[in-house]
Each structure stands twice: as structure tokens, then as C-alpha cells.
């Protein structure tokens, strides 16, 4: 492909042929498309997308249409329809972007208490609908998923013999060793010390 040719992304997310000079650069296409995907349920001002691409709204609209084959508002509407189709196909489960966003948030704060309302807000859903959708996607409610990820993090730390069980308990968010041991046993059938011994 010549240096001045750009990759065209179709409205359905597929990749088409090269477009003429004046379209968005690949990094702009990727950045804007990802932003729309993450906020597909929201109203997104044209000025916000233009700022992401570091263009004026006028030049952004012209370049976007050349790259995507349609104006920004239509592309957003199409992605919203695809998102709705996904929800129906999965009988109310979370969309891929919602799953990824929520799972990453939990992973980054696995040692913390995370309110259900915070996770629901990340997914742009009410707590009630988020809880139902999360369970359909992950096979368990949010609090259990969080608890499992916390214990999985503890397992990783237990492989380091220099860390005491007490230190690990605190690192993964438990106030004392007894609570940590009880939670660990409940999910694994072993105490943390027994699990560590079995690593040998």
C-alpha cells in the first residue's frame, strides 16, 4: 500500500480497501472507533471525537466519512444497533466492551471493596440490570467473581516463599489471616499454608 493510502474500516467493523487522500490516519481511525465502542450507549458530541483525532469538527467530519464511508453520527448509530443485537443474541449478557472494562477494573482493584453501583456505572447499566447481565456473561454474580479473582491473586503470591501468609492476606484485601484462610478454604478446599506446601 502506498504511504498516502489509508485503510478503510466499514460500518460493520470490517476492513475494506484503501481510501483516498484526506481520510483519517490509521491511529485516528483506531482511537475514534475504540472511543465510540466503549461509549456506544452514550451520546457523543462531534467535538469530542474531533478532539480525539486532533482535528477541527469540520475537517474531522469530512475525513471520517472518507475513511468509514459514512458520517460519524451514522457510524455511531450502526454500532449502537450492533450492540443491541449482541445483547439480544446473548439474552441480556454484557457486550464485549462491557465485559472487558468491568473485568479490567476488578483486576486492577482486586484487593479493594468495589461497590456494585461502581461496576454498573462502568457498564452504563442500572445495578439491577448489570447484576443480571454480568451473571449471564460470567456465569456467576459480580461479588463471587471478585472473590475468585482475589483468591487467584493470593495463589500467585503464595508461590513467593518470602511472603508470609499474613502479608498476603493484607495484600489481597483481608483484614486478618483467619478471614483470609476461611475465604481461601471456601473456594479451594485448602488452607493457604496447605496450598503453599502442595506447590512443592
Determine the 3-state secondary structure of 174 from DSSP.
coil
Q: What is the dihedral of CA 149, 150, 154, 156, to 10 degrees?
A: 30
Q: Is the pTM of this model over 0.75?
A: no
Does residue 86 surpass a pLDDT of 90? Answer: no
d(CA 93, CA 105): 18
The three cell numbers locating residue 171: 495484600
> Which residue do the cell numbers 501468609 mark?
165
CA distances to 97, 123, 168, 171, 177 from 100, rounded to whole Å, are 5, 10, 26, 24, 31
20 CB neighbour count, 10 Å cutoff: 11
Phi, psi torsion values for 125, nearest 5 degrees:
-130, 160
Q: Do the beta carbons of residue 60 and residue 107 sit within 8 Å?
A: no
- What per-residue confidence (pLDDT) applies to 184? 95
Which stretches within 109-164 are classed as H helix? 116-122, 127-138, 142-158
At the top level of CATH, the class of 145-198 is mainly alpha
CA atoms within 13 A on the CB side of 40: 22
pLDDT digits 0-9 by tens, 138-187: 989 999 999 999 999 999 999 999 999 999 999 999 999 999 999 999 99
pLDDT value of residue 88: 60
Q: Where does residue 36 rank: exposed (0-12), middle (13-18), buried (19+ CB within 10 A)? A: buried
Q: Residue 24 gets which letter from DSSP? A: -
Q: Which string of DSSP letters, residue by residue, matches 79-118?
A: HHHHHHHHHHHTTTPPPHHHHHHHHHHHHHTTTS---HHH
Q: Using an 8 Å Cβ cutoff, are 106 and 119 in contact? A: yes
CA proximity to 65, closest of 2, 8, 16, 26: 8
Q: Where are the domains of the chain?
A: 6-87, 91-139, 145-198
For the segment 89-133, what is each residue's pLDDT rounded down to a tens digit?
Answer: 656 688 889 999 999 999 999 999 999 999 999 999 999 999 999
Amino acid at each position: 500500500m502506498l504511504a498516502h493510502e489509508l485503510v478503510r474500516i466499514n460500518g460493520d467493523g470490517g476492513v475494506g480497501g484503501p481510501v483516498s487522500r484526506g481520510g483519517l490516519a490509521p491511529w485516528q481511525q483506531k482511537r475514534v472507533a475504540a472511543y465510540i465502542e466503549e461509549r456506544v450507549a452514550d451520546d457523543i458530541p462531534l467535538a469530542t471525537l474531533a478532539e480525539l483525532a486532533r482535528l477541527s469538527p469540520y475537517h474531522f467530519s469530512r475525513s471520517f466519512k472518507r475513511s468509514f464511508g459514512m458520517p460519524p453520527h451514522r457510524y455511531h448509530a450502526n454500532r449502537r444497533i450492533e450492540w443491541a443485537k449482541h445483547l439480544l443474541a446473548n439474552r441480556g449478557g454484557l457486550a464485549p466492551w462491557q465485559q472487558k472494562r468491568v473485568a479490567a477494573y476488578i483486576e486492577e482493584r482486586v484487593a479493594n471493596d468495589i461497590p456494585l453501583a461502581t461496576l454498573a456505572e462502568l457498564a452504563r447499566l442500572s445495578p439491577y440490570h448489570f447484576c443480571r447481565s454480568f451473571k449471564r456473561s460470567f456465569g456467576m454474580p459480580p461479588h463471587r467473581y471478585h472473590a475468585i479473582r482475589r483468591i487467584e491473586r493470593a495463589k500467585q503470591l503464595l508461590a513467593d516463599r518470602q511472603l508470609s501468609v499474613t502479608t498476603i492476606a493484607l495484600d489481597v484485601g483481608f483484614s486478618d489471616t483467619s478471614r483470609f484462610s476461611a475465604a481461601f478454604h471456601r473456594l479451594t478446599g485448602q488452607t493457604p499454608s496447605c496450598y503453599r506446601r502442595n506447590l512443592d
